[in-house]
Amino acid sequence: MTKVQRQRRDVVANRARIVSAATTMLREHGLSTDMRAIAKKAGVGIGTLYRHFPTREHLLQEITGVGLTRLAESMLPPGLTAIDALRQFFTAALDQLARNRAMVDLLASTEVSDSSLERCVQHLTDIGREAVTRSTRDRTLATDITATDIAYQFLALVRIVQLLPDGRTGDIERYVNMTLRGIEHRHSQK
């Protein structure tokens, strides 16, 4: 094996170790994870980390991009009423997000600047639009609820997930139900 081939293998192995370490640390500790700690966990120097990922944002995109894309491609489950579809979608998506603190931190942040994050927020609005359309048939959502309202409710729940103590993801379903009660159509009681 030539020296160049060995160097290329080392470069690939270093990158893989950095991604693995960053994935673990960012999922567990969120965006507050220190770049030096990632480099140390990966067994590389900080310079090596920055050669592979010139900025923190490059590393975050590598780690969270796939998850945000997956969220941005998820759909409301078919065959359910609008409110039940939202309940299932919200619960499943938030449960998955709760396992990745970095993604929760990104979605709960005040700035939406990354294109995959923008696409995700737009998709949440599209999910809301589909739910509002379903509700015109099944009348399970309050009549004044908009697609944007639904997207914002999801993002508010992301913030709640961010605030939950570690290991308390069992509360997600409870918070989803509380939120959806606020947008659900109330039948008049006589």
Cα separation, 176 vs 88, whole angstroms: 9
Q: What is the mean pLDDT of residues 97-111?
A: 77
Torsions phi, psi for 18 (to 5 deg) = -65, -45
- Which residue matches tokens 């950095």? 18
Per-residue pLDDT tens for 126-155? 999 999 999 999 999 999 999 999 999 998
Q: For residue 141, list its beta bridge partners.
A: 184
Q: Which of 65-69, 86-90, 108-112 has the lowest mean pLDDT?
A: 108-112
Fold match flag (3-54 vs 63-183): no
Q: Which fold has domain 3-54?
A: Arc Repressor Mutant, subunit A (1.10.10)
The angle, 0 to 180 degrees and rounded to 10, between the axes of the packed helices 115-138 and 101-108 is 80
Residue 149 belongs to what H/E stretch? helix 147-163
Q: What is the mean pLDDT of residues 95-118?
A: 74
| Domain extents in the chain | 3-54, 63-183
Which of 89, 110, 70 lies closest to 179 in space, CA to CA?
Answer: 89
Tell me which of 110 and 68 has the higher pLDDT. Answer: 68
What six digits make up the tokens of 87?
A: 């309940």
pLDDT category of residue 55 using cuts at 50, 70 and 90? confident
Q: Can you say how many angstroms the Cα of residue 25 is from the centroid of all Cα atoms in its chain?
A: 16
Angle made by CA atoms 131, 136, 140, in degrees to the nearest 5: 65
Cα separation, 76 vs 89, whole angstroms: 6
| CATH number for the segment(s) 63-183 | 1.10.357
Arithmetic mean of pLDDT over the chain: 85
Cα separation, 58 vs 157, whole angstroms: 27
Torsions phi, psi for 113 (to 5 deg) = -115, -35
pLDDT at 38 over 70: yes
- Give the pTM: 0.74
Q: Which of 109-118, 124-133, 150-159, 168-177 has the lowest mean pLDDT?
A: 109-118
End-to-end CA distance of the chain: 84
pLDDT at 166 over 80: no
Tell me which of 19 and 108 has the higher pLDDT. Answer: 19
Q: What is the pLDDT of residue 37?
A: 94
